[in-house]
């Protein structure tokens, strides 16, 4: 049966109170499908794009099934990046705010081991981890994951892209054979399919198609521009389109650096995230961004993966993304939690076929924007 409200799901008073406090009444599509299955102890393979509420799709069933009288790790959530791990911790703590004695521990690389050891000694019921650091702790016997009930692989495609396959195999091996596995992935790559074949025989599959109604309020503009025109166009849009909290995407680290410098020269405060930036700096940059110390974050796709800053109103694509789904990931940074958003994609001559392919594939609605003329009527792609 499909539920239309959280009330119908027979959730605990504690979780209902937290949802109520967060103003969440209606489950998202992936939550409607995944929560009943996971609460029924089924394994689930869920394909769902960014921003569809995956964290609570696995978080709610985990909180409902925790044994608060036991003091071992019962749920392990693996995810690809440190930012994402910290975000999941924050969201789950909010969801579990009324559960007495709940302890959620984040185990991520780039932080001191001994600080994490102290947190692990307090016997968390839930651990959210990046795979490499988790295995470091397993090796040092700082954590025992041999009794977990549930293993979540969040953003599985990204974890596999980042080369975590060996670590995931090890973790599969040292956790109980009969554990519940919930896998969430925006794309079903071959690597993801391999994992499902190997470890998730008989799992239920659910899919939330990346369709327009999941991103209802994002106005998407396409601008045909040459490279040298892009910075000028950026400045004009910033002035005319009420852009306050902005993410800008480029395909490479080099372009990220160049674009960040260009934006700063226009007089805006901007910072960038890419693969060469160390963990300490990344954490500081994300904190500063969330706190509004600067308003424009420039990033590569990989560096931006999983980042959830809820008040981003504008996304710029300085370049057309290399993968069709990246387009959805990028624009999905705005229009979060029901807010309106806008996305501007700069397409140069050599990228126009790439853009056509994206439009064909994603079926999103866009409109062409000419900053020197008037807006053309919305064009369905």
Residues that bind ligand ADP (CB under 6 A): 24, 26-28, 31, 48, 50-56, 308, 310, 336-337
Copy the structure tokens of residue 193.
Answer: 């399919």
Q: Name the binder of 8 from ligand ADP, Mg ion, none, CB < 5-8 A by kind.
A: none
Looking at beta carbons only, is 115 or 291 nearer to ligand ADP?
A: 291
Q: How far is the CB of 259 from ligand ADP (least distance, A)?
A: 25
Phi and psi of 370, rounded to 5°?
A: -120, 110
Q: Name the binder of 51 from ligand ADP, Mg ion, none, CB < 5-8 A by kind.
A: ligand ADP
Looking at beta carbons only, is 56 or 234 nearer to Mg ion?
A: 56
Looking at beta carbons only, is 262 or 321 nearer to ligand ADP?
A: 321
CA dist., res. 182 & res. 170, Å (int)? 17
Q: Are strands 296-299 and 246-249 parallel, antiparallel or unpaired?
A: parallel
Copy the structure tokens of residue 47.
Answer: 């394909």
Q: Name the binder of 279 from Mg ion, ligand ADP, none, CB < 5-8 A by kind.
A: none
* Helix or strand (DSSP H, E) at 157: helix 156-161
Q: Name the binder of 210 from Mg ion, ligand ADP, none, CB < 5-8 A by kind.
A: none
Copy the structure tokens of residue 357.
Answer: 């392919």
Q: How far is the CB of 176 from ligand ADP (least distance, A)?
A: 26
Query: Is the Cβ–Cβ distance between 210 and 362 less than 8 Å?
Result: yes
CA dist., res. 350 & res. 346, Å (int)? 11
Looking at beta carbons only, is 24 or 277 nearer to ligand ADP?
A: 24
Helix (H, G, I), strand (E, B) or coil at 166: helix
189, 191, 314: which is closest to 263 by C-alpha? 314
* Helix or strand (DSSP H, E) at 220: strand 218-224
**Bridge partner residues of 273 (DSSP):** 299
* Helix or strand (DSSP H, E) at 194: helix 190-199
Q: How far is the CB of 94 from ligand ADP (least distance, A)?
A: 8
Nearest residue to Mg ion, scored by beta-carbon proximity: 54
Q: Name the binder of 335 from ligand ADP, Mg ion, none, CB < 5-8 A by kind.
A: none
Q: How far is the CB of 155 from ligand ADP (least distance, A)?
A: 8
Using N-to-C axis directions, what is the helix angle for 82-95 and 279-290, rounded to 10°?
Answer: 50
Q: How far is the CB of 264 from ligand ADP (least distance, A)?
A: 29
CA dist., res. 299 & res. 256, Å (int)? 6
Q: Name the binder of 336 from ligand ADP, Mg ion, none, CB < 5-8 A by kind.
A: ligand ADP
Q: Name the binder of 27 from Mg ion, ligand ADP, none, CB < 5-8 A by kind.
A: ligand ADP
Residues found near Mg ion in the complex (CB under 5 A): 54
Looking at beta carbons only, is 58 or 234 nearer to ligand ADP?
A: 58
Q: How far is the CB of 306 from Mg ion (least distance, A)?
A: 6
Looking at beta carbons only, is 206 or 369 nearer to ligand ADP?
A: 206
Looking at beta carbons only, is 186 or 364 nearer to ligand ADP?
A: 186
Q: Name the binder of 309 from Mg ion, ligand ADP, none, CB < 5-8 A by kind.
A: none
**Bridge partner residues of 107 (DSSP):** 129
Q: How far is the CB of 272 from ligand ADP (least distance, A)?
A: 22
Query: Three-state secondary structure along 74-115?
Result: CEEEECCCHHHHHHHHHHHHHHCCCCCCCCEEEECCCCCHHH
Q: How far is the CB of 154 from Mg ion (least distance, A)?
A: 6
């Amino acid at each position: 049966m499909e539920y239309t409200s959280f009330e119908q799901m027979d959730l605990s008073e504690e979780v209902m109170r937290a949802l109520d406090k967060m103003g969440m009444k209606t489950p998202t599509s992936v939550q409607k499908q995944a929560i009943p299955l996971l609460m029924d102890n089924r394994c689930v393979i869920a394909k769902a794009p960014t921003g569809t509420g995956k964290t609570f799709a696995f978080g709610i069933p985990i909180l409902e099934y925790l044994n608060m009288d036991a003091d071992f790790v019962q749920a392990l959530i693996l995810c690809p990046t440190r930012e994402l791990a910290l975000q999941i911790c924050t969201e789950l703590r909010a969801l579990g705010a009324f559960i007495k004695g709940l302890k959620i521990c984040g185990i991520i690389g780039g932080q001191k081991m001994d600080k994490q050891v102290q947190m692990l000694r307090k016997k968390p019921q839930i651990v959210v981890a990046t795979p490499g650091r988790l295995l470091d702790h397993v090796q040092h016997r700082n954590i025992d994951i041999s009794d977990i009930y549930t293993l979540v692989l969040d953003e599985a495609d990204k974890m596999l892209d980042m080369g975590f396959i060996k670590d995931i195999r090890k973790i599969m091996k040292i956790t109980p054979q009969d554990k519940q596995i919930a896998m969430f992935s925006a794309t079903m790559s071959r690597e993801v399919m391999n994992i499902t074949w190997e470890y998730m025989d008989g799992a239920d599959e659910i899919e939330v198609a990346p369709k327009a109604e999941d991103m209802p309020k994002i106005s998407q503009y396409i601008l045909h521009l040459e490279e040298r025109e892009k910075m000028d166009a950026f400045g004009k849009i910033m002035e005319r389109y009420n852009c306050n909290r902005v993410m800008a995407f480029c395909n490479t680290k080099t372009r990220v650096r160049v674009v960040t410098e260009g934006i700063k020269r226009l007089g805006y405060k901007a910072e960038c995230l890419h693969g060469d930036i160390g963990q300490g700096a990344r954490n500081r940059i994300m904190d500063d961004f969330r706190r509004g110390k600067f308003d424009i974050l420039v990033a590569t796709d990989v560096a931006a993966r999983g980042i959830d800053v809820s008040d981003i109103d504008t996304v710029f694509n300085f370049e057309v993304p290399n993968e069709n789904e990246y387009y959805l990931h990028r624009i999905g940074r705005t229009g979060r939690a029901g807010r309106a958003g806008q996305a501007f994609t700069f397409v140069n001559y050599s990228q126009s076929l790439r853009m056509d392919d994206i439009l064909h594939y994603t079926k999103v609605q866009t409109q062409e924007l000419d900053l020197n003329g008037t807006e053309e009527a919305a064009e369905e792609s």
